């Protein structure tokens, strides 16, 4: 499982500023759902640069982030989060409890069994664990143009898609682990649709923040990204990508 690949899991800090600038945000409807019960104390697991947590800060929540990389955390702090440096599984809550636990685009880097147990330990009874990912794929003409490039230059990668880690399997793993812990009601899974348009350079910058691309040797990564940029330019220079923000929502018993 992805959480065991610590090289990839901890690769993002080296591109922290780029990550903050190009990673997709989340639709307002998802944030409305997270804030529906007006949580005051929120724990953001794998807070990264605070892209998700800052949206809750703007709605009046107090957000504490747990993040493994200081370079990512520094940016999150500038967005209004308090951030502690630790892996979530070994993080010490020091008796603190929360109304809401969120994890945006990060729970696949957490051991699912240990993560579910830790989530239960830090949530108040009735609190919610809300784990979410942006899923999306470029339109068919773009996928068809990029597929042979990856087959030729990086056949081990599937990621000519827009899945920035984890993939759709992470949703099922997360829901199953929360339920298996015996500490949560049955998880609800919902999707929130939105879209983003990417020019060729923006798409390449986004790929630079994907762990599977970031951890490639530069001698392989750079020719791949040049070919991707050229292909998108040949297709008109930009494309619209339809995202679905998928939420796993489970209530602490």
Q: Tell me what pLDDT residue 164 has.
A: 45
| CB neighbour list of residue 61: distance below 8 Å, 6 or more residues apart | 35, 39, 40, 41, 42, 100
**Per-residue pLDDT at 4:** 81
Q: What is the mean pLDDT of each run of 10 residues along the chain (253 residues)?
A: 81 96 97 98 98 98 98 97 98 98 96 97 98 92 93 80 58 95 98 97 96 94 97 97 96 98
Q: Under a CB-based contact definition with an 8 Å cutoff, are residues 72 and 48 in contact?
A: yes
The residues spanned by each domain of the chain are 2-138+162-197+242-251
- Output b/e per residue, 40-59; b: 16+ Cβ within 10 A: ebbbbbbbbbbbbbbbbbee
CATH fold, domain 2-138+162-197+242-251, is Rossmann fold (3.40.50)
What per-residue confidence (pLDDT) applies to 26?
A: 98
What pLDDT was estimated at residue 162?
A: 45
pLDDT on residue 137: 83
Cα 88–Cα 94–Cα 100 angle in degrees, nearest 5: 60
Closest by CA position to 36, among listed 171, 107, 104, 128: 128
């Amino acid at each position: 499982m992805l959480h065991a690949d610590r090289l990839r899991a901890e690769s993002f800090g080296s591109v922290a500023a780029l990550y903050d600038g190009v990673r997709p945000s989340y639709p307002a409807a998802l944030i409305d759902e997270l804030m529906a019960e007006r949580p005051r104390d929120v724990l953001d697991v794998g807070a990264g640069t605070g892209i998700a947590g800052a949206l809750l800060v703007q709605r009046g929540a107090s957000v504490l982030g747990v993040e493994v990389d200081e370079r990512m955390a520094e940016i999150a702090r500038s967005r209004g989060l308090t951030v502690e440096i630790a892996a979530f599984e070994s993080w010490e809550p020091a008796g603190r409890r929360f109304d809401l636990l969120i994890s945006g685009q990060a729970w696949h880097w957490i051991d699912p069994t240990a993560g579910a147990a830790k989530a239960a330990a830090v949530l108040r009874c009735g609190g919610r664990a809300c784990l979410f990912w942006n899923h999306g794929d470029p339109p068919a003409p773009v996928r068809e143009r990029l597929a042979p490039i990856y087959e030729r230059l990086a056949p081990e990668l599937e990621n000519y898609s827009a899945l920035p880690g984890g993939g759709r399997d992470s949703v099922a793993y997360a829901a199953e682990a929360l339920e298996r812990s015996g500490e949560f009601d049955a998880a609800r899974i919902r999707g929130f649709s939105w879209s983003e348009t990417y020019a060729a350079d923006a798409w390449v910058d986004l790929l630079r923040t994907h762990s599977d691309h970031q951890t490639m040797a530069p001698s392989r990564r750079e020719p791949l990204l040049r070919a991707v940029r050229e292909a998108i330019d040949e297709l008109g220079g930009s494309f619209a990508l339809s995202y679905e923000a998928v939420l796993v929502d489970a209530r602490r018993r």
